Structure 1
Amino acid sequence: MIGLDAFLARGRAAAEELMLDTITLYRPGADVFDRDTGQTVPGPPAVIFYTGPARVRPAQLAVSQVQAGEQELHLRQYRITLPYGTQLPDSGERPAAGDVADVNASPNPRLVGVRLWVQGAQYSATATAWRIIAEERS
């Protein structure tokens, strides 16, 4: 088992070297009414799962088109890779569909400010990183 542990440690270190982006992964909180503006605005996050380095990359080149209400949305799937050792919040909650990842910084300026909606997460004891499937909606 020592061989496997050393192999996984090297793989995890290599995966982290590719994490050049910075994200915040969170569960959106309830919207709140702003009496000054008369508008409903997003409230603070209900749970913050992670803030830090990540690798954000497209999962596929194709774009899906869906109808939402009377508006057409374009969906692009992404893979978010986080360090394997990322801890869950004290509550033990795990990211779920509908949670959000905001790209805060990236060497690619076109990626900064992109909001991704979590579709699912992958877990494995022999993974080199924690992978999350998300989509961009535009």
Structure 2
Amino acid sequence: MNRLDTALTRGRAAARARMTDTVRLYAQGPDVFDRTTGTTVPGPQTTLYTGCGRVKPLAQASGQDVQAADREVRLLDYQVSLPWDAPLPGGTRVLPGMALEVTASRDARMTGLVLYVTGANFSDQATAWRINAEDRA
């Protein structure tokens, strides 16, 4: 093992130790209109990852007000760190629009928070897999 590999192994262990939240990454299928009830039913969810993670708001994010349907929403930016070697089903890529749900956190106010993926960063020399997401509350 060379110096770089040693440093990455230590860095990845340190990053993982800071991942005290539990998150679920999933893809939401398209909504389906139910003619019997006259309502729209959310499509099926496909879970891609469940496990430890670190969810943190981006300090420089001031939030952006946007119009969504008939209401105004505020977009707040977050960075979600997953283990560098987090397993995904074969051939799956994380795409904008997928969702991350905080299922457990030391900060109880974060439990249940749903974030929407805006981008993912890949690198063979990273200590964690970082995903950019936004809260559309």
User: 1:40: how far off?
Assistant: 1.8
- What secondary structure sits across from 1:118 in the alignment? strand
User: Counterparts of 1:94 and 1:48 in 2: how far apart (Å)?
Assistant: 13
Partner of 1:68: 68
RMSD: 1.6
Superposed, 1:69-84 pairs within 5 Å as: 69-84=69-84
The aligned amino acid for 2:87 is: Q
Superposed, 1:27-66 pairs within 5 Å as: 27-33=27-33, 38-45=38-45, 47-60=46-59, 61-66=61-66
User: Counterparts of 1:135 and 1:71 in 2: how far apart (Å)?
Assistant: 17
Q: Provide the TM-score with structure 1 as the length reference.
A: 0.90
Residue identity (%):
49
User: Counterparts of 1:132 and 1:117 in 2: how far apart (Å)?
Assistant: 10
The aligned amino acid for 1:117 is: Y
User: Counterparts of 2:12 and 2:22 in 1: how far apart (Å)?
Assistant: 18
User: 1:69: how far off?
Assistant: 3.0
- What secondary structure sits across from 2:110 in the alignment? coil
- Is 1:12 the counterpart of 2:12 in the alignment? yes
Where does the alignment leave 5 or more consecutive residues of structure 2 unmatched?
none
Question: Aligned pairs, how many?
Answer: 136
